Amino acid sequence: MITISIFRLLLALLLVLVPIYFFRIFRVSLIRSTLISTLRMVVQMSLIGVYLEFLFSLNNGWVNFLWFCVMVMVAASTAVSRTRLRARLMLMPVAVGLATGALVVGLYALVGVLGLHNPFDARYFIPLMGILLGNMLGGNVLSLTTFYQGLQREHQLYYYLLGNGATRLEALTPFIRRAIEKAFLPCVANMAVMGLVSFPGTMIGQILGGATPDVAVRYQMLIVFITFCAPMLSLIVTLYLAHRASFDEYGRLREVMQRG
């Protein structure tokens, strides 16, 4: 495997200057945010590299699970913030949904597919959970935003369906359908052209790290399958838990989104 030295990593960092140069030429107001984001990414990734080295050497299942819980809460708070949902009502449903999707699908992959005797092995458990939570975060933000904004914008349709004898689930189905389509259409489109138009970064990283192409391809397909399933499971669990907090006893939508 080719090791990237600090000097060579700095050479790669110079590539960020190319977009910044054109930001300046065309007066795009992204220079400051790009520099701050780049600095944050470098610091955060450096720290996580050191911490993962510690976790891998310690390799304690309870510590690994505790780190997973921290990742879940950070992801849940980020999702609630981005969707502008009220944290008091939605933080725990989102957190439980994320944890359920990651654990069920992740443990299925680690135990059922990879056949690990210890699925909480740090080298496998933490990276896989990170991939799942990262993918679920984007999908949940898009789905929940579409769902609740649709309910607020078209609440008359919801009440019309309820008034005509529909159950709450039947009245919510058009909004759930739209939220799922919004989140999963890009996933389906990307899956269709993967390997033909685009080579995924995970697969390329494995090949550059010394894995043979056939092994890298199999792992990439595994990642595609689990990152396609986990967001759906997470979304369904989140909506199931959130609907009690989102509606009163008469089926009326509460004010779950922040103003402004």
Start-to-end Cα distance in the chain: 51
pTM for the complete prediction? 0.84
**SS3 (DSSP) at 253:** strand
Quote the pLDDT of residue 133: 94
Select the more confidently predicted residue: 106 or 199: 106
Per residue in 40-68, pLDDT tens?
Answer: 999 989 988 888 888 889 999 999 999 99
Separation of alpha carbons 149 and 83, rounded Å: 9
Quote the pLDDT of residue 139: 87
Q: What is the mean pLDDT of residues 1-17?
A: 88
Separation of alpha carbons 76 and 94, rounded Å: 6
Most confident of the following: 31-35, 81-85, 164-168: 31-35
Quote the pLDDT of residue 64: 93
Is residue 244 scored above 80 in pLDDT?
Answer: no
Kindly give the residue spans of alpha helices, DSSP state H, lying in 14-60. 17-25, 31-58
> Pseudo-torsion of CA 93, 148, 87, 227, nearest 10°?
50
> Pseudo-torsion of CA 87, 88, 92, 95, nearest 10°?
10
Per residue in 151-173, pLDDT tens?
Answer: 888 888 888 888 888 888 888 88
Per residue in 170-217, pLDDT tens?
Answer: 888 899 999 999 888 888 888 887 776 666 777 777 777 777 888 888
Q: What is the mean pLDDT of residues 114-126?
A: 93
What pairs with residue 198 in β-bridges?
194
Quote the pLDDT of residue 71: 93
Q: How many H helices and E strands in the chain? A: 10, 0
